Amino acid sequence: MRKQDMNRDWQATARTLSEALPYMQRYTGAVVVVKFGGNAMGDEAAMAEFARDIVLMRQVGMNPVVVHGGGPMINDLLKRLDIKSEFIRGKRVTDQATVEVVEMVLSGLVNKRIVQAINDQGGRAVGISGKDDDLMVCEADDPELGFVGRPVEMNVEVLSDLYNAGIIPVVAPVATGRNDNETFNVNGDTAAGAIAGALKADRLLLLTDVAGVKDANGEVVTSMTPEQVREMIASGVISGGMIPKVETALKAVEEGVRAAVILDGRVPNACLLELFTDHGAGSLIRSTEPRVKPRGR
């Protein structure tokens, strides 16, 4: 590469950093809950990139909290153990044998892999599950589903203790029940929304494998109010697997999250594009009377 071209690249990098400054100032001290999942979890390069973004968020004064899924890894181990897995209305039926595998994969393999990726990028991450310090206490979501939990009690002090100490919490969506020795499998989006609501987070970022919420013409809607989302569900514009995601976002906003965003986790640096640029990177849902933000969304 010629020196002139290198200078242009460096200047572009410096300009990008300079333009991001107001957003970095805007989010200083802000709590941002990030749901991580999808294809990026199985790709080493994508995992490292995600980890760098999370470390950068922490470095500029934000308080990121990572909540993850792990469905493909659970499927792989269940298959290897010859444990049949059934789904009802898109949710995994979780018997005692299955919930043991779920906990093993989520709290062990997946959680520690994300923790290691963040630490490898210079961050300080600690992995926990919803069981630790009774972070998430659940009841059965549906008797047909077995040990699939719905959070009914949140104790998020352990998370604030960690990020106030400069540590990035990485949370596996496995929870305790009200009865002794109960373990519940919790949908990753549901867990992230419940944690964001309990923390009154500034942002809930739901990383998915789609570009965002689309309108009737197939175009991504960049900003919506809860009323508009409900109208799109009622009219059938929002359907299928997107419904539980927007319902999670709506509930989080109702519980005090300033805004929730559904964005494409396949896009490089998706979190940074959403937080540090004016146009954002996905579909933002917030109340009709958002708190004032100096620039951007």
Mean pLDDT by 10 residues, the chain (297 residues): 58 69 83 86 87 95 96 92 85 91 95 97 98 96 93 97 98 93 93 97 93 89 92 91 90 95 90 85 78 45
Give the integer Cα–Cα distance in Å for 9 and 180. Answer: 59
DSSP-based three-state secondary structure for 152: strand
CA–CA gap between residue 199 and residue 83 (Å, rounded):
37
CB neighbours of residue 163 within 10 Å: 17
Element (H, E) at 253: helix 242-254
Q: Classify burial at 24, counting beta carbons within 10 Å of its beta carbon; exposed 0-12, middle 13-18, buried 19 or more.
A: middle
Radius of gyration (C-alpha) of the chain in whole angstroms:
19
C-alpha distance from residue 5 to each of 8, 9, 19, 140, 208 (Å): 5, 6, 21, 59, 35
Cβ atoms 213, 283 nearer than 8 A: yes
The reported pTM is 0.90
Residue type, 129: S
Residue 290 pLDDT: 44
DSSP H helices, 27-124, are 44-59, 71-80, 96-103, 111-120
Q: Are strands 91-92 and 282-285 parallel, antiparallel or unpaired?
A: unpaired
**Domains observed in the chain:** 26-285 (3.40.1160.10)
The pLDDT, as a whole number, for residue 209 is 85
Q: For residue 267, count CB atoms less than 10 angstroms from its CB and return exposed for 0-12, middle for 13-18, buried for 19 or more.
A: middle
Give CA torsion, residues 252, 284, 71, 162, to 10 deg.
-60
Please give the pLDDT value at position 8.
Answer: 60
Phi, psi of 95 (to 5 degrees): -90, -175
Place of tokens 């640096």: 269
- Distance (Å, whole) CA 63 – CA 173: 19
